[in-house]
Amino acid sequence: MTAQAMHKQYSDGVTAFRQHIANPAMRQMFNTCADEFLRQCALGVWQADGGAVTPQHVEWYNAIYCKGNPVPSALFWELSTAVAEYPGFQPPAFFRKMMDYDKAYHQTTARRFVDLMTLMLLLFAAVDGAVSDREAGFVNACADTLSALCDQGGLASEHPRTDAGDFVTRRGDSPAPAAKAAPETASEKETALPPEKLEDLLSELDGLCGLDKVKRDVKSLINLVKVRRLREEQGLPVPPMSLHLVFMGNPGTGKTTVARLLARIYHSIGVLPKGQLVEVDRSGLVAGFVGQTAIKTSEVIQKALGGVLFIDEAYALSSHDNANDFGREAIETLLKAMEDHRSDLIVIVAGYTALMGDFIHANPGLESRFNKYFYFDDYNGEQLFSIFQSMCEKNGYTLSNDGAEYCKSYLNSLYEERDENFGNARDVRNLFERAVARQADRVAGLTSPTREQLMELTTADLKEPESEDNP
């Protein structure tokens, strides 16, 4: 199921439930809090399943919102951290309000919400195409907590509660009721996706801001693969070639974007049978107990077969001084898989330039398998402004004349004064999100704002508020 299809199911379910809330104040509270609560629940579901977050988890997490609410924009590392640090299930404040309302007016809103939550959590569990026993156990535990509160409040139940254990995937069964009810999407399975046109993918590559050297390197790599294939067809010798890559550069320079695009290109030209990208970091490969890291790493590799395994901040696998660190076990497992699956697995490791150089050269096995390096330069001020403009266009915002001038000046200064904490496109995204939040505060105070006013970002929206410490 795609993130878009998941969002439709989620939005339809939440919207249908909202229509059953008779009390306007309670309905407004639900509108305000439901998405955030259910996103927290999603973190718990995925933590219960082992916390092995993939790019698809990120896409689904970013799609958990109802129509009309702001779209969250978590990155892979942010979601991985959030899953790892999930604090545990807590009944939402609006649920207690529902209980009070039901008690006063003899309604069943709270019981209905337990059913909704159960179905939504099963939907989240199905992100990897299956509902595990551990996921079902977490879902039932959450539902038990809310049901117990209803029991204590004397709220009767109309029907037996849904048991998440009934939807545990076994021998090819459908993973969740929500997934079964979904209309067929363009892609039931990644293996069913036809290759995209190379021309379209190259056009998408060219449309990326900056990255001129990386674009040339990608096209050169494509040409190399094409010529190798032509030589094979003519019976000419083809020397061994590794397609594994090292991406070197600071955060926010487009490494993940290019990796995802390169996986699709490899699929297009027939190098990879699927072309999916599985993104992990150290936490997605390394376990905390002896013997478990190899299992965890192997599971990730299995998901990546036929596509690209992208390991962000790969240097963290060997950055520990302890000779018994489990990161070394992950590396050894990875190297073996790269040898065993030379025809259907490409590995891309990424991170800071200096640290990645040390990482590759510290291990002879890594050095022999990674011999192609892509360098991602920092975006300059002009490129940062282009990225900001692109974000505005994609999200239906415009810049006022004074806002555009201020934005250019700010981003130029950001680039000129950059240090080791410079986040490139991530800093631009943060600027955009803060500006949108301040614009919302400003426009909310207007009487019947026009379409232009709803879209326009001004200098006031872009400027950071002065610190209270300033005189």
Report pLDDT for 190. 42
Backbone phi and psi for residue 280, each to the nearest 5 degrees, phi listed first = -140, 170
Nearest to 340 by CA among 376, 388, 277, 298: 298
Helix-helix angle 133-152:24-48, to 10 degrees: 150
Q: Could you report the average pLDDT of every consecutive run of 10 residues in the chain (471 residues)?
A: 81 81 81 88 90 85 77 78 87 88 83 88 86 88 89 79 73 41 38 74 90 90 88 83 90 91 90 89 80 84 92 84 72 90 90 88 86 91 94 92 95 92 90 93 91 94 70 45
Report pLDDT for 195. 78
pTM over 0.95: no
**Is the torsion defined by CA of 235, 239, 240, 243 positive or negative?**
negative
Report pLDDT for 6. 83
The domains found in the chain, sorted by start residue, are: 3-188 (no CATH), 198-376 (3.40.50.300), 381-462 (1.10.8.60)
Q: Report long-range pairs for 401-407 (Cβ below 8 Å, ≥24 apart).
A: 402/458, 402/459, 403/456, 403/457, 403/458, 403/459, 403/461, 403/462, 405/459, 406/459, 406/462, 406/463, 407/431, 407/462
Report angle CA 270, 275, 280 to the nearest 5 degrees: 145
